[in-house]
Amino acid sequence: MDYSFIFDKCGDRKSRLGVIGATKGFGYTLLAQLTHIDRIDLRFASSRHPEECAEVLKELGYPEEKLVICESESDVRAAKEDAVIISANNDIAFSCGLTSIIECTGNTRIGCSIAKRALTSGLNVYMVSKETDSFAGPMLSRIAHENGTVYALVNGDQPRNLVDLISWARTLGLEIVCAGKSSEYDLLWDGDTKLFSYTDEHTHTEFVMPEMEQCWHYSDIETLKKRGELLKDYVAPISANFCEMNLVSNVMGMLPAKSLIECPILKPSELADVLVPVEDGGILTNTGVLQVFFDLRASDEASFGGGEFVVVKCANRKVWELLRAKGHVVSRSGKYACIYAPYHIMGVESPMSILLGDLLGIGGHADTRQVSVLSGVANCDLKAGTEFYVHGHHHDINGLDARLLAREPGMVIAPFYLLNGKKLVKDVKKGSPVMLDDVDLSNSIEYELYTQGLSL
């Protein structure tokens, strides 16, 4: 798509954006990139620490004279029209003349209340907080449709990037067997030194692992079992991975693969041989499904970058043999191929979603439904009175293991992130999922949006 061409048709229209949950993580990368985007004016930035937010904005190149800390609507009215309003009070965002907000807090209660109010007030909403979208996305999408606004996931995070890749493949008439992403961090091995390493943002592991040589080259499913046993300490299920597939499932109507609980350890070159039906030598017992894998690579190879992929059927063998010769990933059988985008570059990429939504009305999915439910299974006996909170880089909840399930009629399992900030009113035994009536959901806008979404 020639983006410059389609946006040229929008004249001098611009987005006036409010960032809810600015300055850290995803919000920081977005604020940095916005300084390079002529068609988006940052008008509002919320932060629990306004002075700190102002310092970050100055560091990123926003003119100091335009930064105004406001506590009330009267403060906003006194500010200049081109000022960047900074506040700890999210409510005054609605007095700033915005066209849209992008929600980055990760706080489900804030995300639900701000998004609903914005969508019914004529503002588009771009949802970064995947925890909120996992259970409220269907109803927020419907609210947007009913109010002529856009509710959309954002490019730069894997769910929207994968939605775009899937829709691209479907538009081209490609039959998708499997779609998904790689997990966030890679498993590296050096064939010369036999040195294994695993690095994320917070830890670094490195030691000699000569045993990897026995399962470095893929032969069959036994190779996966050997890798899984050898690297079991580094491939535990990650809540955030399940959540991201939950979002894609609800938007695109795809179910999680049954093998999702045990994400395979693969090189990108092996995806079209493994993420295919069992009868063709793969691990899938159903097709058209979502899967995550852990990226195994040599220490001098490029990373998959937590990127996205689709495995498709090769409708014409001659076509795909031609493409194999050009270096594309085609299975040994010639029946399947993998197409992938090895990146998700956070807020650096997100302005594209904002421009598509604000200027062209593109990005919303009014047909989003709760196709799958991310449940929380107790990993120990939990007593009534236990309070749940999301924490850490992988968005975990103490005492619970995340499991992504196909939604079934009458399902009363409590969505994993709906539990954030909630308290048990009943004991829950180890191995049991937390049910809706196990927790206090009174005065919960999150529960309200979830149940309304179930009726769609």
Q: Give the model confidence (pLDDT) of 395-406 as tens digits.
A: 899 999 999 999
Q: Measured between alpha carbons, how far is 88 from 384 in angstroms, rounded to an integer?
A: 34
Q: Indicate the domain borders of the chain.
A: 3-156+347-360, 161-344, 372-454
Contact 148, 233 (CB under 8 A): no
Q: What is the dihedral of CA 443, 447, 449, 453, to 10 degrees?
A: -150
In angstroms, the CA 112 to CA 228 distance is: 38
The residues near 190 (Cβ < 8 Å, ≥ 6 apart) are 196, 298, 299, 300
Q: What is the pTM of this model?
A: 0.96
pLDDT of residue 423: 97
Fold of 372-454: Type Iii Antifreeze Protein Isoform Hplc 12 (3.90.1210)
Query: What kind of architecture, by CATH, is found in domain 3-156+347-360?
Result: 3-Layer(aba) Sandwich (3.40)
CA-based nearest residue to 316, from 332, 298, 336: 336
Per-residue model confidence (pLDDT) at position 202: 72
Tens of each residue's pLDDT in the chain, 456 residues: 888 889 998 999 999 999 999 888 899 999 999 999 999 999 999 999 999 999 999 999 999 999 999 999 999 999 999 999 999 999 999 999 999 999 999 999 999 999 999 999 999 999 999 999 999 999 999 999 999 999 999 999 999 999 999 999 999 999 999 999 999 899 999 999 999 999 777 778 899 999 999 999 999 999 999 999 999 999 989 999 999 999 999 999 999 998 788 899 999 999 999 999 999 999 999 999 999 999 999 999 999 999 999 999 999 999 999 999 999 999 999 999 999 999 999 999 999 999 999 999 999 999 999 999 999 999 999 999 999 999 887 889 999 999 999 999 999 999 999 999 999 999 999 999 999 999 999 999 999 999 999 999
CA 437/CA 446 separation, integer angstroms: 15
> Strand pairing partners for 327?
none
- Residue 253's nearest CA partner among 446, 407, 451, 412 is 407
Residue with tokens 């909403």: 125
Distance separating the N- and C-terminal Cα atoms of the chain: 33
CB 374 within 8 A of CB 242: yes
* pLDDT given for residue 259 in this prediction: 79
**Exposure b/e, 302-341, CB count within 10 A at least 16 = b:** eebbbbbbbbbebeeeeebeeebeeeebbbeeebbbbbbb
Q: Which of these, 67, 110, 109, lies nearest to 90 by C-alpha position? A: 110
- Look at the block and give the residue holding tokens 């997100």: 350
Which pLDDT score, from 0 to 100, does residue 41 have?
97
- The 10s digit of each residue's pLDDT in 71-121 is 999 999 999 999 999 999 999 999 999 999 999 999 999 999 999 999 999
